Structure 1
Amino acid sequence: MSPPVTAPAGRKKTLSHPKKANNMPRQPRTFKAFIVLCAIALSSPFTTPATQNAQAQQNRAVQNQMQNDPDTGSKKGWWSGLPREKKMLYTTTASAAAIAVWGLATWDYGSSSGFHTAHEGAFEENAKYGGADKMGHYFATYAISDMLTGLYKSYGYDTRKANNYGVLSAWAVQAFMEIGDATSESQGFSWEDTMMNTLGALTSILMARYPALDDKIDLRVEYIANVRIGGIFDDYSNQFYSIVLKLDGFDFIKNNFLKYLELSAGYYTRGYDTDEVKKRRSVFAGVSFNLSRFFYQKHYNKTGKVLEYLQLPYTVLKGSRDLD
């Protein structure tokens, strides 16, 4: 996978009380971030093995044209004429600025008199969201790192540098959000979130360094509108996070039908963000059809790329086991 979600991850913070003193509700943000990520993904120049050669040929043609016509550079638009370093800087800065504006408007940034921290726990039964919010941070940072990798490759960086800078930008934007949270009484800085953001960034590096591993494994989120919470963006009780083993990544599998088979394992919680008394943490195993492979073969490369991160609702046959 080379490019997302999600804009940065969202979540609610665990404080000693469910709402701040002025009754402002906490804002879960993970899935909202991922929807934005997918929107960016559909318009981003993700590359696949099938398109990299064509892109390289196009870049060489443009370079030759600029060498033969010195006036070409002056005819380009403001953005396309910028050096790649400035494009990367502006991309990261704009992302952080968007977080600052949104945080001031909706997450009561600036309301805390000091550096406010939130001790949330991680995947324990008594953690605020049973770990679903932590999975959101991990996944969003990973997916955003990949998305920025693809974007920075389009700016002219080679694959390794694009991934290094993409990961750094994604982690920095997430860290900026945590610092903003530290100024909010209803949010608070979370070391647990920071740790999961870091693991997500490292996963992007791992996948970029080992393409054979990337060919075999996807990390995905699935959203199903099964529990009415308050809106598609405002819950964890409709989300599944999974690691997917794609059989088409194994050369020894020759059967074309088996190459469309996927095996998955994942984690989800229910009831932590509702009024339900019973709260559940669950793991699952599943089988699914490789839709990403299908769309790649039909040359819908952007759709195929997005489906490496987004599992369409109800497309996995699951067997679950409760942990509580």
Structure 2
Amino acid sequence: MTLAFEIITLLAVSIVATWIYVQYRARRHEAQAEAEFPPLGQISVVDGHRVHAVVMGAGPDLVLIHGSSGNTRDMTHSLAPRLAENFRVIVFDRPGLGYTERINRSGASISQQADLLARAAHQLGAEKPIVLGHSYGGAVALAWAVENPAELSALVVLSGAAKPWKSGLTRFYKITSHPMLGPLVIPFLTAFVHDERVEKQIASIFAPQSAPDGYTSYVAPGLTLRRHSLRANAMQRANLLPEVEALHMRYGEIAVPTEILHGTEDTTVGLSIHAEPLARQIPDAVLTRLEGIGHMPQHVAKDDVVAAIHRVAIRAGLHPRP
């Protein structure tokens, strides 16, 4: 046996051992996260897909759709309980995130997600709910309104990604969505990145405001770091721009009452790029500019969000519970 062969063999064994250890650490991190943050609601099976939803309250049906990297806990931290005083609130995990299964491994499109959630809402007894989407979830809500117009009564777009933009993917998403690099890198992230790193990212998303007390511990950063969630989220983000480019010229077809809320200091999804042209395109849409607010108005401008939902419900002929 030559020295070169011995070195190659040792290197191969080291690589395999390292990979086994990384996968072990990743599985352990995932198990800890799921034990600490189990599903808050119920699991429905919709055409073979497991969909997680939290349902609370009574009144007109209202669906809440979270943004990128999130889960039901973003909406159930404080907004959904407040709205449940007047509405029957359904908060979904989007496919691949939280406890809703992935639709596919290529990155479920906003239209596919909207269709699945619309069918899940119908299965839960909500035939024509008010639909609110935040950030990436705003794009899903818009796809719902365009492609399933008979299956909602009103629309609320909150800091929503609506129109094409010029900036490219961040390095993180380029790597994690890459067909070869993503599956190699993601297990290392799951295995070795601490939940505190996600908490730091949360702080940047809330800027210039701060996250409310208890939010970072409640929102389950460990669920975001699971391998399948990182990959699903990365693929969805990588595909979002071309999907928006394909859909955005159809927003003028939206005929349901629409409220659009967007912070003037939102540096994640820009007001002038997204909300302002969207408001001009949808007939009779009402745009509320939230002065000084960043990307997370559902937490830092909650009164404005709740007021907009009540307005759009009245415009749709619905009657929130007193």
Q: TM-score range by the shorter chain?
A: under 0.3
TM-score (structure 2 length as normaliser): 0.26
Instruction: Give the number of the structure whose residues are more often helix, by fraction.
Output: 2
